[in-house]
Structure 1
């Protein structure tokens, strides 16, 4: 990561980031513990767990790719170590909750068709974008797709469609921009 202009600011950034990591990470444990003690997931919203796994998986892909990207070395990486740690932790604990759904008493509950359809749509969209990015090596654009997928999973089930134009614009801009920033030997500009 690029150097900070202020040591106190850098320390504050790190401390606040790890406090946020701890606070958000703790929030996953009560449900896991409750499910384990009861050996039941009755009352747990399965849609929430599936959508949360999708959201945190896409967030993890975004964070890990940006944090470990050799292209972005020596620049101010917009992802901190605590972001990477949280997203990995969130995926693991959400996956454990999903595992509990399969092994514990769940009653007549099931995942809704809407949630299943949304997850298939989001991951299908990301897969198509992967194959679009592959020939031109537009990896910056592709990881932006994962961030977009996370935002869709977060807002669409809540019917907050107002930010949709604001969510799509950076994807379009970053695709063209990433081609110019990181051209491949085969890229031709007119």
Structure 2
């Protein structure tokens, strides 16, 4: 089988450097939230739906990257589809990042169960979305087995991780807006994620310039979309943290009607009496 080669050594070096910048930026970006949770012994301010959707995204991304990078059968189908001289659009740093991101996201989920979380909880919507995604993936596995449509199958996982990337930030962005604060949500995570996204897009551009082909972008459309979408949301979170709600501490938890309804009647009477005396 024909193996695509680099035409420019400087561009090849730039590709590797940008790839590892993206890897280290994205990998390190997982730690500020973990450290923040640990120091506060609390996950207040971190949206649980974001974590659930992000975990689904990271597992799907790991399956896609590892399969396309290690499986010769999938690589053969990729070249048959996009061209025998095309380079595989997944690098070693992509696989390494996927493994690392999955483990740390799973650890954040563990922190949610052991640290203070107030009245925050997982929504039925996010749990339903994650369940539907994995049910769809299982159905696609059954469909792909008879014809060994491996490239199509991993494209399904790629699509899942793209969808999760598009929607996973929405709960956190809304929660910040509702609380008028980013307290509890690490901005260090966002800054490093932004750097990783920019480096990732630059890496893909370098490969495309060397090969004089833009197949790299639409042949791995998932990588392209998640980078651009992540950059867009990162800019939003940066604006929320530094422009809209700088230095503001949010409420310890989201308001709950249940809390008001179950409040001790004696305390209610005292509050009312106190208001009357004022």
TM-score, normalized by length of structure 1?
0.79
1:70 matches 2:72: yes
Which residue of structure 2 lines up, in the alignment, with residue 100 of structure 1?
Answer: 111
Q: Which moved more, 1:71-80 or 1:48-57?
A: 71-80
Among residues 13, 28, 36, which one is paired with 1:11 in the alignment? 13
Which residue of structure 2 lines up, in the alignment, with residue 180 of structure 1?
Answer: none
Contact 1:58 1:147 in 2 (8 A): yes
Aligned partner of residue 65 in structure 1, secondary structure: helix
1:85 matches 2:96: yes
Extract unaligned runs of 5+ from structure 2.
77-83, 171-220, 222-278
Higher relative contact order structure (alpha carbons within 8 Å, sequence separation ≥ 6): 2
Contact 1:49 1:97 in 2 (8 A): yes
TM-score, normalized by length of structure 2?
0.55
Aligned-partner Cα distance in 1 for 2:138–2:120: 29
Greater per-residue helix proportion: 2
Which residue of structure 1 lines up, in the alignment, with residue 163 of structure 2?
Answer: 152
Aligned-partner Cα distance in 1 for 2:39–2:126: 27
Which residue of structure 1 lines up, in the alignment, with residue 50 of structure 2?
Answer: 48
Aligned-partner Cα distance in 1 for 2:119–2:156: 35
Which residue of structure 2 lines up, in the alignment, with residue 115 of structure 1?
Answer: 126
Instruction: Compute the RMSD of aligned alpha carbons.
Output: 1.9
Aligned-partner Cα distance in 2 for 1:133–1:156: 27
Extract unaligned runs of 5+ from structure 1.
159-169, 171-190
Aligned-partner Cα distance in 2 for 1:58–1:85: 14
Aligned-partner Cα distance in 2 for 1:154–1:70: 28
Larger Rg: 2
**TM superposition outliers: structure 1 runs of 4+ over 6 Å:** none
Contact 1:126 1:145 in 2 (8 A): yes
